[in-house]
Every structure is written in structure tokens, then in C-alpha cells.
Amino acid sequence: MKTFDAIIIGAGQAGPPLAARLTAAGQRVALIERGQVGGTCVNTGCTPTKALVASAKIAHSVAHSQEYGIRISAAPEVDFGAVLRRALTISSNSRNSVESWLKSMPGLTLVRGHARFESPSRVRVGDDIYAASQIFLNVGARAAIPDLPGLEQVGILTNSDIFRLTGLPDHLVIVGGSYIGLEFAQMFRRFGARVTIVERGPRLASKEDPEISEAIREVLEAEEIAVRTNAECIRFSRSETGPVVEVDCASGKPEIVCSHVLLALGRKPNTDDLDLGKAGVELDKRGFVQVNERLETSAPGIWALGDCNGRGAFTHTSYNDFEIVASNLLDGGTRRVSNRVMSYGLYIDPPLGRTGMSETEALAKGHQVLIGKRPMTRVGRAIEKGETRGLMKIVVDADTRAILGGAIMGPGGDEAIHSILDMIQRGATADDLAATMHIHPTIAELVPTISGELTRDADG
């Protein structure tokens, strides 16, 4: 048996920085990873997809250069192989730098293999047993693949397989019209594939307010992406020409023949193959590890961080989990997971930045709300850039005037949203925000303006 002060399972977004803090505090740490260090974000998630989004943006800009007075004499061509290689190089550089960082940590043992619990303080990897009084789970999640009939006949793709494509799909059907599906849909369309999105709900990105979903749909349809909502994929089959996605729908064709199918149907936590029962770690009914505000599990001495705890499904939430646990354990902190303002980006172009509550959520929680809103057609910077799709919106509590949430879909919306996020984190009111001076010409310069033009009418 090999004994350590701490064992970390999973080298995703929380594991490596936690290993750095624990080893810097003099602890001996075993970090167990069954796949590639860096986890989902670095290898098959944020990093390679955002690199692909960047290539797709260039393809789109070049195709539209004449609108900006720039003539390109030869027809631009997308070299899909080169696009993928660029994304994978950025991803592998990032993975290598995590690996070098881990190797530089004195007191760290990087163990390669699949970890399973033997008891609350012991973990098996192959024939070896590792023991520690503190164990941290950072095991992440994987693409959920529902048991739909005919699945095995079509050879579906997930976010991981897409990086192994050897050529551009002719017609890509994406099942699931949420974050993963939408980002892939736009980039593949911009690379030149025909793209159809099949979404069973009545609108895309259904966690967003309806006008945001509508703006997203407009952006995608303007690029000739076929959007099928109220269309549930119920089975797959194969025709002579390729895979067939069969949908249950009120309108449109019930069968879509395509060349490739990408499933983007949510994520499943990697908690089903850890023998967590032997450790006394309780899961919720969807398989997420149940944690308290300090990210402690039901088993004393075991914490869960990142996607596997169901408290966030983003790189920044995983990293923030690390900060909470490290502060509480090593700095005498009293940090709680509920102190953060849930925020994220959706990296279609233009991107959507979101923070705090949507209007729908605020109303559901019983708030009387005031709304400030402006379409990008009335934002100078967006007009100058020729990117006037989207809108910005702020949600304010009508009684206290506290800022509850915001959305900015427009050029740089993922960056500009931080001007609202930081104010919410500090407990500011709409009047505090309205009194700030922002830089001209930016998208964010209109944030104080809409904060000072609040109305009860959501369409105001």
C-alpha cells in the first residue's frame, strides 16, 4: 500500500491546481488520471472547440469581406485538415504545459490508470492500493448517449470523436440544440458542411429567455443552418446514401438523411465506475456526487469538485471549486459554493455572455422585475463592426433595485458581460451601475445606459 497525505482522482480543471496548493503546503499527493491530463476542457472541450470557432470566424469574415469593401480575387477555400490540426496543436500544447507543471511539483506522484474505491480512505489502481485521509474527486463528465434504437447502425459522433474526423461532413445532423450543439452547428456550417439541428424542445438554448433563443435562431438561420425545433430524435436507421435520423415532429420531414450525426444531448458524470458505495459517497438520482456548500461529500474526508458534483458544468466553475476547497482547507477560509454568481458564455458568433438569473428564472423565484434592454442594431460599436445581431439585457429586482442577471449577445458579449457579473458579485444596484462611466466605443458602454432605462415591460 502506498500512503499519501491526499489523493486526487482526475487531472481536469480542479485537480492540478489543487495538487499545486497541497504540495506547496508540504503535503505528499497522488494525482490519479486514467486519460489525458487537462481533462475535457483541454482535450475535447473548450480549448479545441474555441480554436475551431476562431477558424470558423475567419472563414466567415473572408466570405463576407466585400461587405467591408475588401475584394478577394480567388474563392476562399477551407482546408478542414489544417483547421483540425491547428485546433489539436493548441490543445496538445495546453496539455503538455499541464503535464510539465505537474512534473515540476515536488511531492506529487502522477499515477496513470483508473481509480476505484476500496474503502473511504483507500483507492485501487490496477494492482496497487493508495491510501490517504483526504480524497478529492475531480472525475468530470462524458457525453450522454441515450439508448435510442438503431444507434449502432449509424456510428454517431460525440464531442470527442469529432476531432478524429478525416474529412468535412457533407451533411451533419446535430441532435440537441443547446451549448455543444449550437457551437458545432455554426462552425461546421462556416467550414462548408450542410447542417441540421434537431431539438426536441420548442426553442434553441431553452435555458435562456425566449428573445435570446430567438436571436440565436436568427443568427443560425441567416447562415442557412436548418433548425428543427419540436423535433425529437426517436431512432436512427441507415439508408443507401447514409445515416437517417428519424424524428417525432409536428411539421417538417420525419426522416433526415445525412452523412454524419453528432449527439449533443448533455453530459453524464463519471461516477458510475468508481465504486463510490465502498466509500459511502452518496449520489443524486442523476449520478452527481452530493456535496454541501464546502464541496464536502457525505463521506468525511472526501470532497467532489467540478462537473461531477452537479454544481456547475463549466471550466470556471470547476476551477472555482478548487479555489473554495483550497481556501477552506489551507487558508482558514469560509468560502461557500453559493457565493458565486453563475455565469457562462455560449461561443457562437456573436457570442452570448450570461450572468446571474435570466428574466424567466427571476420571475419563477418570485421577483418583481425591471428590465433594461437594447438590440445590437442600436449599439454603435456593433454597427461599426457590421455585427448587429443580438441584444443586451439586464434584469433588476423592482423592490431593491439589486441587479439579478444579465445577457449580452453581440460582438465580445462574452467579455462585456463581466461588467454586469462583477457588479452582481458586489451586491450593486442598477443605480450604481448606471452611474459608472464606460469606454467609448465599446459594447459595454451601453450597459450603464440600459441600467438607467429600466421598465416593467419586458419589451420596453
Ligand X SMILES: Cc1cc2nc3c(=O)[nH]c(=O)nc-3n(C[C@H](O)[C@H](O)[C@H](O)COP(=O)(O)OP(=O)(O)OC[C@H]3O[C@@H](n4cnc5c(N)ncnc54)[C@H](O)[C@@H]3O)c2cc1C
Ligand Y SMILES: NC(=O)c1ccc[n+]([C@@H]2O[C@H](COP(=O)([O-])OP(=O)(O)OC[C@H]3O[C@@H](n4cnc5c(N)ncnc54)[C@H](O)[C@@H]3O)[C@@H](O)[C@H]2O)c1
Cα end-to-end distance, the chain, whole Å:
67
35 binds, among ligand Y, ligand X, none (CB under 5 to 8 A by kind): ligand X
Residue in 27, 186, 229, 270 binding ligand X, rule: CB under 6 A? 270
Least Cα distance to 107 among 2, 38, 36, 5 occurs for 5
Q: List the one residue from 122, 190, 200, 354 that touches ligand Y (CB under 6 A).
A: 200
Active site includes 114? no
188 near ligand Y, rule: CB under 6 A: no
- Mind spelling out the 3-state secondary structure of 57-87? HHHHHHHCHHHHCCCCCCCCCCCHHHHHHHH
Rounded Cα–Cα distance for residues 213 and 69 (Å): 32
Answer yes or no whether residue 23 interacts with ligand X by CB under 6 A. Answer: no
Beta carbons of 43 and 122 less than 8 angstroms apart: no
For residue 256, the minimal CB distance to ligand Y (Å) is 12
Residue 12 binds ligand X, judged by CB under 6 A: yes
Which amino acid, 397? D
**CA-CA distance, 12 to 307, in Å (whole number)?**
10
Residue range at the interface with ligand X (CB under 6 A); choices 40-48, 86-94, 255-263, 444-452: 40-48
Task: For residue 132, give every residue at least 6 positions away whose Cβ sits within 8 Å of its Cβ, in sequence order, or none.
Answer: 3, 4, 5, 6, 7, 30, 121
Residues 287-316 that bind ligand Y (CB under 6 A): 313-314
Q: Cα separation of 11 and 15, whole Å?
A: 5
The continuous run of DSSP H or E covering 95 comes out as helix 80-103
From candidates 36, 119, 206, 237, binder to ligand Y by CB under 6 A: 206
Decide: is 199 part of the binding site for ligand Y (CB under 6 A). Answer: yes
Q: In whole angstroms, what is the distance from residue 315 CA to residue 44 CA?
A: 12
Chain-centre distance of CA 329, in angstroms? 28
The 3-state DSSP class for residue 109 equals: strand
How far is it, in rounded angstroms, from Cα 317 to Cα 45? 14
Of the residues 23, 121, 159, 419, which one makes contact with ligand X according to CB under 6 A: 159
Output the smallest distance, CB 201 to ligand Y, in A. Answer: 4
Residue 13 or residue 94: which is nearer to ligand X going by CB? Answer: 13
Selection from ligand X, ligand Y, none that 265 binds (CB < 5 to 8 A by kind) is: ligand Y
The stretches of 110-200 forming alpha helices (DSSP H) are 151-154, 179-191
Judged by CB under 6 A, the residue of 201, 210, 242, 252 near ligand Y is 201
4 lines the binding site for ligand Y (CB under 6 A) = no
How many residues bind ligand X, per CB under 6 A?
Answer: 35
The reply to whether 233 sits near ligand Y by the rule CB under 6 A is yes
Min. distance of Cβ 24 from ligand X in angstroms?
20
> Using CB under 6 A as the criterion, which residues of the chain lie in contact with ligand X when the complex forms?
9-14, 32-35, 39-41, 45-46, 49-50, 114-115, 138-141, 159, 180, 270, 274, 306-307, 313-316, 318, 347
Which residues in this chain contact ligand Y in the complex, by CB under 6 A? Answer: 175-181, 183, 198-201, 206, 232-233, 264-267, 313-314, 344-347
